[in-house]
Chain A
Amino acid sequence: MEPFTKLTGRVVPLPARDVDTDQIIPARFLKVTDKLGLGKCLFHDWRYDAEGRPRPDFILNQPRAAGAPILLAGDNFGCGSSREHAPWALASFGFRAIISTSFADIFRGNCLKNRLLPVIVDAATHAALMERALADPATEVGIDLASRTLALPGGATVTFPIDSFSKQCLLAGVDQLGYILKHADKIAAYEHGR
């Protein structure tokens, strides 16, 4: 996995709270046997109408979304189903980080395994950034993972929480399975002890 160290880029605002993974990628798109190309299914039923035409007022269909690597989402983002197809679709579309006030547990874990950084900010920071991003398509932020900082428009920075193990894995580009396999002897010892 490629390391994740810093990211600077434009923000796509999606103000809705409690966005569930059925919206991120509807179940009928989960019949794939690989992980590729799911970006075209991202938020499918919000992006396209029943005839398959792009809905012009949905933010991902607007020019500002092209090439913008950071999604600014409402509270409890990624709730519902555990489908890892959700971060696969987000990453395939081009997102590298998501900012919210909170993430659902399984979704957050899935993101971290796919080099998609969940950034948690407090309500006041979130509200100010959302207002700015909705008004200005050029709104940009900077993320520095090593120092756990988010640089906001206007110059302020805030720190965001991330457990140090996940941070180290992302910075080093280390896959969790590799870490577990290094300790195979301890797994064998546990199995013998039962």
Chain B
Amino acid sequence: MAAIRPRTMFEKIWESHVVFQEPDCPALLYIDLHLIHEVTSPQAFQGLREKGLKVRQPSKTVATVDHIVPTTDRSLPITDPQAAELIAQLQTNCRENGIELHGLESRHQGIVHVIGPELGATQPGMTVVCGDSHTATHGAFGALAFGVGTSEVEHVLATQCLLQNRPRTMEIRVEGTLPPGVTAKDVILAVIGRIGVGGGTGHAIEYTGSAFRAMSMEERMTVCNMSIEGGARAGMIAPDDATFNFLCGRPRVPQGEAWDAAVAAWRCLPGDEGAPYDRSIAFDAAQLEPMITYGTNPGMAIPITAPVPDPARMNDAVQQSALRKALGYMAIEPGKPLLGKPIDVVFIGSCTNSRIIDLRAAAKVLRGKKVSPKVRVLVVPGSQPIKRQAEAEGLADVFRQAGCEWREAGCSMCIAMNGDMLASGQYSVSTSNRNFEGRQGPGGRTLLASPLTAAACALTGVVTDVRTLL
């Protein structure tokens, strides 16, 4: 009997989705789930119209509005005419093509990478794409999930397939138990701090090891979400009972006997013993600390107590210049920790950290206390179901009584397209995923952190090590 080559989970999923591949050409991959939102889809649907094409598989397509929706009273008309037009076009496009749309009037509306798993649309072993780079989030379920541009959105709408060159594989292994105050967000910031914002380019990452096994699905989503910030095409975690328990009974998963059959198939997805990766990097969970970014990309991150790196100590002239520019933009001094730095805004939300466990973590820190009068705090749940659950658990009361603004679901201040934004020069501690120049508003200065750290900073009004408060 011939030996069967051991395969990683990535290889299993990739190979089972190749429709065909000609020599010297990319593979044509079948896409099981196509998620769409209002910003990257209008031109794609327009392209279909111009070519006289229809959506091939409306039943494999799910839409929501998230990037430009206000997080204030939804009963009021949208004041931004461009935003209103984007929403109207998505409504028309979904209606004309029979696509399930969770618009503002839907009980399931929310950030696209939050509602996909909530609906049970995201499942192990699937290929999942969306016109949004944080699509990697869905890899937490053992799916091959990646972001695409609008042209590729059009390709998937028309053919349910994508041409893709096969990436290499990278294993990120974290063994051990995370210390108190150290969360999934801190793990992924530490990873990107190590590999750099281009370190994962050309690779699909698999996160392995006991630290990830111990995480809830929400925590795994936080990790996979930021794979793109390390430059990776995708990031995934093998499914297990935590995955199946999360999905069981959700609207779009198989039911009854079909559920049992699906779970049995999903149990075969984890990589085979000994399957090699193109690169492997290991971390010790016990050595990790709460993290914070100091610069203008997610790789510029340090442990919360560490000093900000000094450009004068860098050998590479281009790196030195980049760091000087970043510190100049941020008005941050090198050589000392950020602890004690006054901040203006705390944003708890985004597809990285807006799920119920993130809100519970922030509420744990804020319960019975008041935020600093110098800080504006926005708490934005990732979806309407999460909002309802947070209200039922009393978390919304905790936030309101602490002096936070409790908002409706959407991308909000992560991307600042809806009016939730920083004024020029303001500092935010944000549970989102990008601290690029101007990301949260022109001149805005973003410090990325976990919900625990963000809540701690909200209380004190300065950059704070949450471990001193726990």
Real binding pair: yes
Chain A interface residues toward B at CB < 8 A: 15-18, 20, 22-23, 26-28, 30-35, 45, 50, 74-76, 79-84, 102, 104-106, 109-110, 113-114, 163-165, 176-177, 179-181, 183-184, 186-187, 190-191
* Chain B nearest CB, measured from A156 CB (Å): 22
Q: How many A-B residue pairs have CB under 8 A?
A: 162
Alpha-carbon distance between A110 and B149 when the two chains are bound, in angstroms: 6
Chain B residues whose C-beta falls within 8 Å of the C-beta of A104 in the assembled complex: 198, 201, 231
Q: List 26 A-B contacts (CB under 8 A).
A: A15-B318, A16-B321, A18-B322, A20-B434, A28-B416, A31-B82, A31-B85, A31-B86, A33-B46, A34-B43, A35-B43, A74-B318, A76-B231, A79-B297, A80-B297, A80-B436, A82-B131, A82-B133, A83-B40, A83-B149, A102-B198, A106-B148, A114-B151, A163-B24, A163-B165, A165-B25
With A27-B417, A76-B231 in contact, is A84–B197 under 8 Å at CB?
no
Give the size of the chain B interface in residues (CB under 8 angstroms).
66
Query: B437–A22 contact, CB under 8 A?
Result: yes
Chain B residue, CB-CB nearest to A114: B151
Point out the residue from B20, B165, B197, B443 that lies within 8 Å of A18, measured CB to CB: B197
Point out the residue from A17, A27, A105, A164 that lies within 8 Å of B24, measured CB to CB: A164
Point out the residue from A76, A176, A186 that lies within 8 Å of B20, measured CB to CB: A186
Alpha-carbon distance between A31 and B84 when the two chains are bound, in angstroms: 10
Point out the residue from B86, B133, B155, B443 that lies within 8 Å of A176, measured CB to CB: B155
Chain B interface residues toward A at CB < 8 A: 19-20, 24-26, 28, 30, 39-40, 42-43, 46, 51, 56, 67-68, 80, 82-83, 85-86, 89, 131-133, 147-152, 154-155, 158-161, 163, 165, 167, 197-198, 201-202, 228-229, 231, 233, 297, 299, 318-319, 321-322, 325, 415-417, 424, 434, 436-439, 442-443
Query: A82–B147 contact, CB under 8 A?
Result: yes
Chain A residues whose C-beta falls within 8 Å of the C-beta of B42 in the assembled complex: 33-34
Chain B residues whose C-beta falls within 8 Å of the C-beta of A181 in the assembled complex: 158-159
Query: A50–B424 contact, CB under 8 A?
Result: yes
Alpha-carbon distance between A104 and B201 when the two chains are bound, in angstroms: 6
5 A-B pairs with the lowest CB-CB distances in the bound complex, closest first: A84-B149, A31-B82, A76-B198, A110-B149, A82-B133
Chain A residues whose C-beta falls within 8 Å of the C-beta of B297 in the assembled complex: 18, 20, 79-80
Query: B158–A187 contact, CB under 8 A?
Result: no
Chain A residue, CB-CB nearest to B439: A22
Give the most central of B43, B86, B160, B318: most A CB within 10 Å. B318
Query: A105–B202 contact, CB under 8 A?
Result: yes
Chain B residues whose C-beta falls within 8 Å of the C-beta of A15 in the assembled complex: 318, 321
Alpha-carbon distance between A80 and B424 when the two chains are bound, in angstroms: 22
Chain A residues whose C-beta falls within 8 Å of the C-beta of B165 in the assembled complex: 163
Query: B159–A177 contact, CB under 8 A?
Result: yes
With A26-B442, A165-B24 in contact, is A190–B322 under 8 Å at CB?
no
Alpha-carbon distance between A184 and B228 when the two chains are bound, in angstroms: 31
Chain A residue, CB-CB nearest to B131: A82
| Additional pairs, 19, CB under 8 Å, beyond known A18-B297, A165-B163 | A22-B436, A22-B437, A28-B416, A30-B39, A34-B46, A76-B231, A79-B197, A80-B436, A81-B133, A82-B133, A105-B167, A105-B202, A106-B228, A177-B155, A180-B28, A180-B159, A186-B28, A187-B56, A187-B159
* Chain B nearest CB, measured from A35 CB (Å): 6
Alpha-carbon distance between A106 and B165 when the two chains are bound, in angstroms: 12
